[in-house]
């Protein structure tokens, strides 16, 4: 799974604080962003035609 660079991780944590996300919930937010980045790296961002 993709890991955040330390600077990006710190900025993301600061943003979560500004948004009022409590400390116990933050690991879940980080996990789902990492899942999203992993998915994007594997499958790309192209959308199927409508």
Position 1 scores a pLDDT of: 74
- Answer whether residue 17 is part of any domain: yes
Tokens of 34: 């990492």
Tokens of 32: 């789902």
> Which uninterrupted H or E stretch holds 37?
helix 26-43
Domain count, the chain: 1
Torsion (CA) 37, 41, 45, 49 in degrees, nearest 10: -130
- Answer whether residue 49 is part of any domain: no
Neighbours of 9 (CB within 10 A): 13
Neighbours of 10 (CB within 10 A): 11
Q: Which domain holds residue 23?
A: 6-44
Position 49 scores a pLDDT of: 59
- Answer whether residue 33 is part of any domain: yes
- Summarised one tens digit per residue, pLDDT across range 1-50 is 778 789 999 999 999 999 999 999 999 999 999 998 898 888 887 666 55
- Answer whether residue 50 is part of any domain: no
């Amino acid at each position: 799974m993709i890991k955040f660079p330390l600077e990006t991780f710190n900025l993301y944590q600061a943003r979560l604080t500004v948004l009022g996300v409590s400390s116990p919930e933050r690991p879940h937010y980080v996990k789902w962003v990492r899942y999203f980045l992993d998915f994007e790296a594997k499958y790309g961002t192209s959308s199927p035609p409508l």
